[in-house]
Amino acid sequence: MTLAHEMAFASPHITAYAVEATEHPDLARKYRVTGVPKTIVDNTIEILGALPEDAFIEQALFSQAE
């Protein structure tokens, strides 16, 4: 989780929520969380598992054509 939080701290445009899945089953269902960690970016992009820092940043922020 710390990586997403670091990203929020570094960028004034990023907000990062660590969601405890068992306490928020409605959110876990909504985003079809079957394993953790799972990251959802802007309700659309899904990232499964833990990735290296550079790969995570690329997938989370730059994988969609602007």
Partner 1 sequence: MSLLGSADQTRLRTEFEQLTRPVHLLFFTQSLGCETCAQTRQVLNELPALSSRVIIDEVNFVLEPDRARRYGIDRVPAIAVAYAQIDHVSAADGSADSGDLVDTRIRFLGTPAGYEFVSLVQAVLLAGGGESQLSEASRQRLASVQRPVTLHVFTTPT
Shortest distance, position 36 Cβ to partner 1, whole Å: 5
Pair 15, 8: CB distance under 8 Å: yes
**What is each CA distance from 43 to 1, 60, in whole angstroms?**
17, 11
Binding-site ranges for partner 1 (CB under 8 A): 1-2, 4-24, 27-28, 31, 33, 36-43, 53-54, 57-58, 60-62
Contacts with 36 (C-beta within 8 Å, 6 or more apart), sequence order: 21
Shortest distance, position 30 Cβ to partner 1, whole Å: 10
Tell me whether residue 12 or residue 65 sits nearer to partner 1 (CB atom): 12
